[in-house]
Amino acid sequence: MSTVKLKNIIRGIRLFFISLFMTGLSCSESDNPPVEIIDPVEETTFTNPLVTGADPYVYKEGDTYYYMHTVGNAVRLWETPALEDLASATSKEVFKAAAGAPNSRNVWAPEIFKLEGKWYIYYTAGDGDDINQRTWVLENSNSDPMQGTWVDKGKIYNPNADFWAIDGTVMEHLGKTYFLWSGRPDKTNINLTQKIYISEMSNPWTLTGNVTLLSEPEYNWEQNGFGVNEAPEVLKGPNTQFMIYSASFCGTDDYALGMLTLKANGDPMVAEDWVKSDQPVFTKKPSANAFGPGHNSFFKSPDGTEDWLIYHANPNTGMGCSVNRTVRMQKFTFDSSGKPEFGEPVAIGMEVEKPSQN
């Protein structure tokens, strides 16, 4: 066979297979039209609980939420644009005291604030002996609290009342700054009753002047287990400020929220200018798997139009102050007189509308 004939045969075979291939493409395109790609629908709801944890706290700065809760032996900070996505939020250990230090054990209830252009974290800690629990301060001058260095500013206390103290928080009112905490009445630590105190601050790490007793357990619902008023949190209402606190021992299912209302033109340092509600404002709901709800914080929705409550609770009865506590959040409103209405705990697994977005 000549070379020319062989080349022609090979050429013909190539053309045949090319023809078959093109025919196949044509059939494939006609039998299977292009698939329309549909963008995923954004979820508009979330369910509680958000994470496992106790003593939740939130601070909103711009479009970012900074979140904290008790981790036991260190101070950890989370950041997220959406608290309903807290489980996937970025976190960082920002402080851990050296072993054996007076603030190295039982690290509880950290809270972050931006004061006088710097970041401050107030937290509870001790050396492992309960009688030595105190409130402490960290400072960071970086504009981003997830960056920079957190400096230990030491213990924040009044030298004349250096007693057991936990759950420190900050109140700003009419140009002055105040520190609130839960403490015991003397240094002996024999009387375990926890009361809420307030003192003015001369700077973010120093108290000045007198200490005022604002609230102590007086109603039966504040004395389950033993008498406790703790975890004060300040809530700014339309007309005045409120102090929401946790009452009764956290080891009981009846841990609940109580409320004090600052009178119009009242002085936060004058106990008589605070009016205490005679009933709790937020209590357990067994059908919602919410036992011992308390130690709360407040925040605004991303667009600033909604008020939200974040708190911890146990999912079942008898769990006490344990690692089983979980963090939940839900919206609340103010009534026509300007008082908060928290409603009742939302059930675990119930679909809840996400906070209103920008």
**CA-based end-to-end distance of the chain:** 81
55 noted as active-site residue: yes
Q: Cα separation of 205 and 156, whole Å?
A: 6
Burial of 115 (0-12, 13-18, 19+ CB in 10 A): middle
Give pLDDT, residue 36: 65
What pTM does this model have? Answer: 0.89
Give pLDDT, residue 22: 46
What is the band of 209 on the pLDDT scale with cuts at 50, 70, 90?
A: very high
Average pLDDT for 332-346: 98
**SS3 assignment, position 272:** helix
In 189-252, which ranges are E strands? 195-203, 206-215, 229-236, 241-247
Average pLDDT for 252-274: 98
Residue 5 covered by a domain = no
- Over 50: is that where the pLDDT of 133 sits? yes
Residue 143 covered by a domain = yes
Residues 6+ apart with CB under 8 A from 217: 193, 194, 195, 223, 227, 228, 229, 247, 248
Give residue 147's domain range.
46-353
- Over 60: is that where the pLDDT of 24 sits? no
141-158 residue pLDDT tens: 999 999 999 999 999 999
Q: Which of 29-43, 172-186, 334-348 has the lowest mean pLDDT?
A: 29-43
- Over 90: is that where the pLDDT of 125 sits? yes
Q: Quick count: other Cβ atoms within 10 Å of Cβ 346?
A: 19
H helices present in the chain, as ranges: 3-31
The H or E element that residue 261 is part of is strand 256-262
Set 167, 222, 230, 254: catalytic member: 230
289-323 residue pLDDT tens: 999 999 999 999 999 999 999 999 999 999 999 99
Give pLDDT, residue 28: 46
- Quickly list DSSP for 94-159: EE-PPTTSTTSEEEEEEEEEEETTEEEEEEEEESS-GGG-EEEEEEE-SSSTTSS--EEEEE---G
Q: In the numeric block, which tokens belong to residue 104?
A: 């190295």
Set 55, 111, 233, 253: catalytic member: 55
25-72 residue pLDDT tens: 444 444 555 666 665 667 899 999 999 999 999 999 999 999 999 999
More confident residue, 183 or 18: 183
Name which of 119, 121, 222 is nearest 169 in CA terms. 121
Q: Cα separation of 283 and 285, whole Å?
A: 7
Q: In the numeric block, which tokens belong to residue 332?
A: 């609340």
Q: Which of 38-42, 66-70, 87-91, 237-241 has the lowest mean pLDDT?
A: 38-42
Name which of 109, 216, 207, 201 is nearest 161 in CA terms. 207
Average pLDDT for 246-268: 98
For residue 311, give the CATH number of its domain: 2.115.10.20
- Over 50: is that where the pLDDT of 3 sits? no
| Alpha-carbon dihedral sign for residues 358, 312, 271, 162 | negative
| Alpha-carbon dihedral sign for residues 67, 71, 72, 76 | negative
* Peptide bond between residue 345 and the one before it cis (omega within 30 degrees of 0): no
- Over 60: is that where the pLDDT of 100 sits? yes
Residue 54 covered by a domain = yes
Average pLDDT for 92-110: 98
**Alpha-carbon radius of gyration of the chain:** 29
Q: Cα separation of 221 and 22, whole Å?
A: 82
Give pLDDT, residue 316: 98
Residue 22 covered by a domain = no
Residue 326 covered by a domain = yes
Residue 20 covered by a domain = no
230 noted as active-site residue: yes
Residue 18 covered by a domain = no
Q: 191-196, long-range: CB within 8 Å, 24+ apart, which pairs?
A: 192/226, 193/217, 193/226, 193/227, 193/228, 194/166, 194/227, 194/228, 194/229, 194/230, 195/229, 196/229, 196/230, 196/232, 196/243, 196/245
Q: Cα separation of 15 and 20, whole Å?
A: 9
Residue 266 covered by a domain = yes
B/e letters for 149-188, b = 16+ CB within 10 Å, e = fewer, are ebeebeebbbeebebbbbbbbbbebeeebbbbbbbbbeee
In this prediction, what percent of the chain has a pLDDT beyond 70? 89
| Domain count for the chain | 1
Residues 6+ apart with CB under 8 A from 343: 330, 332
- Over 90: is that where the pLDDT of 5 sits? no
